[in-house]
Amino acid sequence: MKPKLAFFDFTGCEGCQLEVLNFETELVELLQHVDIVNFREAISEKGQDYEIAFIDGAVTTESEIPRIEKIRQQAKILVAMGACACLGGVNCLKNFHPMEENLKIVYGANACEYVWYYNTIPARPVSAVVPVEYELPGCPMNRYEFIKLAKALLLGKKFELPNYPVCVECKQAGNVCAFDRGEICLGPVTRAGCNAICITNGRRCWGCRGLVDDPNVNSEKEILQKHGLTVADILGQFRLFDGYLEVSK
């Protein structure tokens, strides 16, 4: 019997599920070893007898709470996929404002009459609602890490995320540091695993993979010192993807 996988979207752009579909060759190979029984972006079946559930998106409405609890009851293994599911992601920007104000800004002045309809609540990562076995960070999640995790689950092997900052991969790529271009970069406190793709392409790191474990110890302090900054200075810039941490302190 092949293990049964299911994919579920909560609040997000569903870009992480697209990343799975974009991985055409490896996905075909994976399908030889698993059955996908629920994946709205790809198939019309709605199987409920899965063992491994992949969740894309954050929990941002009342109605999503019983939905994720039901999925948790069924799945032996629950995987949060992408910054929205792992961190709350950009959805948590709404947590800094009253929910009714958010409704007015997005849906217009009359929206508050329909609060019951939108049932919006402060956004949360999946792990803030139910236990999660694995997380695949990033916006979108890294499709190579998805395949690595899928293989580890099939083979019963250990899966671990890199626990060093993006700066390590950035230096390996030979990039000019964004601080030297006069920009603030979150690479010193952000978990590696993306090969510093944004900096390699002329941008800076916005921290979409979340904090490395214990950033105060692991951060690339010499880069910060060179530019007169501390870990605390750049942690303050973490709101775009990691605002949940800030409001839940």
Coil vs helix vs strand at 188: helix
Binding-site member from 4, 5, 6, 16 for ligand SF4 (CB under 6 A): 16
d(CA 138, CA 209): 4
Site membership for ligand SF4, residue 185 (CB under 6 A): yes
Burial status of residue 117 (CB atoms within 10 A of its CB: 0-12, 13-18, 19 or more): exposed
Q: How far is the CB of 174 from ligand SF4 (least distance, A)?
A: 10
Q: Does residue 170 touch ligand SF4 according to CB under 6 A?
A: yes
| Nearer residue to ligand SF4 within complex by CB, 90 or 150 | 90
Any contact of residue 198 with ligand SF4 (CB under 6 A)? yes
Task: Note whether 51 and 2 are within 8 A (CB).
Answer: no
Binding ligand SF4 by CB under 6 A: which of 4, 7, 57, 64? 57
Shortest distance in whole angstroms from residue 139 CB to ligand SF4: 3
When asked if residue 205 is in the footprint of ligand SF4 (CB under 6 A), the reply is: yes
- Among 59, 75, 167, 189, the residue binding ligand SF4 under the rule CB under 6 A is 167
**Which residues fall within 8 angstroms of residue 100, CB to CB, at 6 or more apart?**
112, 115
* CA nearest neighbour of 188 among 173, 175, 207: 207
Residue of the chain from 88, 122, 187, 215 that contacts ligand SF4 (CB under 6 A): 187
CA 234 to chain centre: 20
Query: Pattern 126-165, binding to ligand SF4, x per CB under 6 A?
Result: ------------xxx-------------------------
> Angle at the Cα of 46 (from 45 to 50), degrees rounded to 5?
110
Cα angle for residues 141, 136, 71 (degrees, 5° grid): 110
User: Closest separation between CB of residue 44 and ligand SF4, Å?
Assistant: 21
Residue 40 burial by Cβ neighbours in a 10 Å radius (0-12, 13-18, 19+): middle
Binding positions for ligand SF4, rule: CB under 6 A: 12-16, 56-57, 82-84, 89-90, 138-140, 166-167, 170-171, 175, 177-179, 185, 187-188, 190, 194, 196-199, 205-209, 220, 223
